[in-house]
């Protein structure tokens, strides 16, 4: 970066050149990262609120960069979305999560769904449902053990996304709406798409005990979802008080630092092994 030329450097301020060069460099390096196997998945447990048992895991991607160390998804997913690389990364994430979940089952661990985050960009590709079917066939994972998390966005072809989701649901795959309540079209989603579960965004969960309107909103989301036969999971649960509130309002599942942050696959094996085997 520094040796790129004696003259160009003085044209730009340090911070400007740093940030845009950084972006370009990262984007460039991302292309090689898949082949070099620099991406890894961590898994965050999801628990049944009533019994406290682990009922699922969410796969969250990390980039083990050879020089920069572990890069969190917040720093490269937006770049990957911009450049379109998210489709290749998403393909890798989907296959790796399915492979891992099948391996856990074969090791005798209690079967449970793995949730995979889908970028809306992945819906634009041809025949998403067909692609998912191929991954399930290749990895041997049964469809009920895969859950796809989708986020709300204004810019999408509703009819197309709806067709994709119906095809996926008909295969037996679960569909969750991520970050529920933060988008522009939360209710539109519930009305038009075959949704199995919604995830209450952590911004609502955070102040559940301090902010009466957040408490009202969360209680109302849970009641409404249940009337529509949709399961509810709360994300970002960090305290016992938040958990108690959610339990009292009959939220179904929860996920958050209170129980566990996202962890490497071996930690999940230990958690599940100690709870079920022996």
The footprint of ligand C2E (CB under 6 A) covers: 44, 60-61, 72-74, 77, 86, 90, 93, 117, 119, 178-179, 202, 235-238, 256-257, 261-262
On whether the CB atoms of residues 41 and 116 are closer than 8 A, the answer is no
Cβ-based neighbour number of residue 259 at 10 Å: 17
Decide whether 72 or 84 has the Cβ nearer to ligand C2E: 72
And the tokens for 96? 């790796």
Q: Minimal distance in Å, beta carbon 159 to ligand C2E?
A: 22
Q: 3-state class of 146 per DSSP?
A: strand
- The binding site for Ca ion (CB under 5 A) comprises 117, 149, 178-179, 235
78 binds, among ligand C2E, Ca ion, none (CB under 5 to 8 A by kind): none
Do residues 191 and 213 make contact, with C-beta atoms less than 8 angstroms apart?
no
> 49-83 b/e with 16+ CB inside 10 Å = b?
beeeebbbbbbbbbbebeeeeebebeebbebbbee
Closest distance to ligand C2E from the beta carbon of 1 (Å):
26
Nearest-10 Cα torsion for 134, 89, 150, 230 = 50
Nearer Cβ to ligand C2E, position 44 or 169?
44
Residue with Cβ nearer ligand C2E (21 or 193): 193
- Nearer to ligand C2E among residue 143 and residue 236 (C-beta): 236
User: Measured from the CB of residue 6, what is the shortest distance to ligand C2E in angstroms?
Assistant: 39
Residues 6+ apart with CB under 8 A from 125: 87, 131
Residue closer to ligand C2E by CB (options 89, 112) is 89
At closest approach, how far in Å is the CB of 236 from Ca ion?
A: 8
Please state the closest distance from residue 60 (CB atom) to ligand C2E, in A. 4
């Amino acid at each position: 970066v520094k040796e790129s030329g004696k003259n160009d450097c003085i044209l730009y301020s340090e911070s400007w050149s740093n940030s845009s060069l950084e972006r370009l460099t990262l984007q460039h390096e991302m292309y090689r990262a898949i082949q070099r196997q620099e991406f890894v998945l961590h898994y965050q447990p999801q628990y049944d609120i009533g019994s406290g048992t682990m009922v699922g895991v969410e796969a969250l991607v990390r980039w083990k960069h050879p020089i920069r160390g572990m890069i969190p998804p917040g720093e490269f997913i937006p770049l990957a979305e911009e450049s379109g690389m998210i489709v290749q990364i998403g393909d890798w994430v989907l296959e790796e999560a399915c492979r891992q979940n099948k391996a856990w089952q074969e090791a005798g661990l209690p079967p449970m769904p793995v949730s995979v985050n889908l970028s809306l960009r992945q819906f634009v590709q041809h025949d998403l449902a067909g692609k998912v079917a191929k991954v399930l066939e290749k990895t041997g994972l049964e469809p009920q053990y895969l859950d796809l998390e989708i986020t709300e966005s204004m810019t999408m072809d509703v009819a197309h996304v709806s067709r994709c989701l119906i095809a996926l649901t008909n295969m037996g795959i679960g569909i969750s709406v991520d970050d529920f309540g933060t988008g522009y079209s939360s209710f539109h989603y519930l009305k038009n798409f075959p949704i199995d579960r919604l995830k209450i965004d952590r911004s609502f969960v955070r102040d559940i005990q301090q902010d009466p309107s957040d408490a009202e909103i969360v209680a109302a989301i849970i009641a409404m979802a249940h009337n529509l036969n949709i399961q509810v999971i709360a994300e970002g649960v960090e305290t016992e008080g938040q958990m108690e509130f959610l339990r009292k309002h009959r939220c179904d599942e929860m996920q958050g630092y209170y129980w566990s942050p996202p962890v490497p696959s071996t930690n999940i094996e230990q958690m599940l092994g100690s709870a079920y085997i022996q």
